[in-house]
Amino acid sequence: MEIPRFSSLLRCRKWAKSDWLAASIGFVLTVFFLSFFYDPTVPSITSPTNLVKLKLSSTAKERGAFCLDGSLPGFHFDKGSGSGSKSWLIHLQGGGWCNTIASCSARAMTSFGSSNYFEDEVEFPGVLSNDPFQNPDFFNWNRVVIRYCDGASFSGHPEAEFKNGTGLFFRGQLIWEAIMDELLSMGMSDAKQGILTGCSAGGLATLIHCDYFRDHLPKDADVKCVSDGGFFLNALDVLGNPTMRSFYHDVVTLQGVDKSLDQNCVAKMEPSTCMFPQEFVNNIRTPVFLVNSAYDSWQIQNVLVPASADSDKSWAKCRLSIKECDAAQMNVLQGFRSSLMDAIGKFHQNKAGGMFIDSCFIHCQTVTPGTWHSPTSTRIENKTIAESVGDWYFNRKPVKLIDCPYPCNPSCHN
């Protein structure tokens, strides 16, 4: 299986020796602290697309919106044209979370915690592409990638910083608000159409901030949200431990995320539980489309079978490739799929919502041409993800696509 890597999407700038030294140290620390929950989210691609320059936020400093290390956050903006000149697609980059001072400190020495390591230019593939063959419905929209450098799905609050005394900045919510205001001043305030999307931790952030996005665009604009690989399950691991729930508890406690979560949910249960979309997706007022695998590879490797739950290595092959699973392990994976079906059961009845739930062993599918829209893309009922999202967004037809259980879909790449 090809492991998704955002870095393969990006073209690097030239670095001084000190940059390379810092990057090397950051890499070692990151592997040590973040290997269990690190979440690279964009698969590598083979077809070139347009390069889009980085812009550091011009309003972030006055707003106190900083990356983990105190550097300025940034985004990449590709201007729309023609019929898409007043349409905006905002993509929130993913990349896991940090739940301890140590892991956040390590993250602050990488591009997932500091703009000092951001690339000057990145490629825009899949739903971000300006190629009408790769991205038929949104190719000429204004397209933006907001870089992820806070470690809490754009939801941390500075009030939590006094706990650490290490100089880390927990400003994810302020980053989101500052860049939103900047984009509004760049023309998004006149938008006729808008989509907030994101992948993995960015897909979760999309759901968390969906209504905020809707409320800050014109009332007559057609605004919707597309979450890709962001429906993380509140499920026990194979040893019966609440590994993901405990992890989210640490993220929320460390970075003060509770203020950004659905307050109706927070009023009823422990705040970190409200990080799980199944607890709040039905409270979102804005139409939402879910793109998710029923056998999400990242969740299988980190939620269902984390390394801590596989000390005897009996899952070593299966957790990395679904083709290597024996009958007993497949029964467990089918149970995981059933948990997802239960979690989206009520959402399935939402007339305004849409979904594309396939049976591929993969994580994040909207940001590469091979899975978003190509002759060999994954299909359900002969529809690619791009066609499905387009049909839903433009109200061409309702889209509630749920694949049959693995291994029934021959169009799956993995």
For residue 31, the Cα-to-chain-centroid distance in whole angstroms is 20
Catalytic status, residue 296? yes
Catalytic status, residue 311? no
Which runs of consecutive H residues, i.e. helices, occur in 200-290? 201-215, 243-255, 263-266
> Which member of 57, 111, 200, 359 is catalytic?
200
Catalytic status, residue 200? yes
Q: Residue 369: is the preceding peptide bond cis (ω within 30°)?
A: no
* Encoded tokens for 56: 């550091």
* Angstrom distance (rounded) from CA 46 to CA 231: 27
Q: What angle do CA 63, 68, 72 make, to 5 degrees?
A: 45
> Which member of 76, 91, 363, 373 is catalytic?
363
DSSP class of residue 204 equals H
* Phi, then psi, of 309 in degrees rounded to 5: -100, 10
The residue type of 54 is: L
**Dihedral sign from CA coordinates of 360, 361, 365, 370:** negative
* Encoded tokens for 142: 């204004």
> Which member of 211, 296, 358, 403 is catalytic?
296
Contact status, residue 86 vs residue 193, Cβ threshold 8 Å: yes
Q: How far is CA 263 from CA 152, 193, 257, 269, 350, in A?
A: 17, 27, 11, 10, 21
**Catalytic residue list:** 200, 296, 363
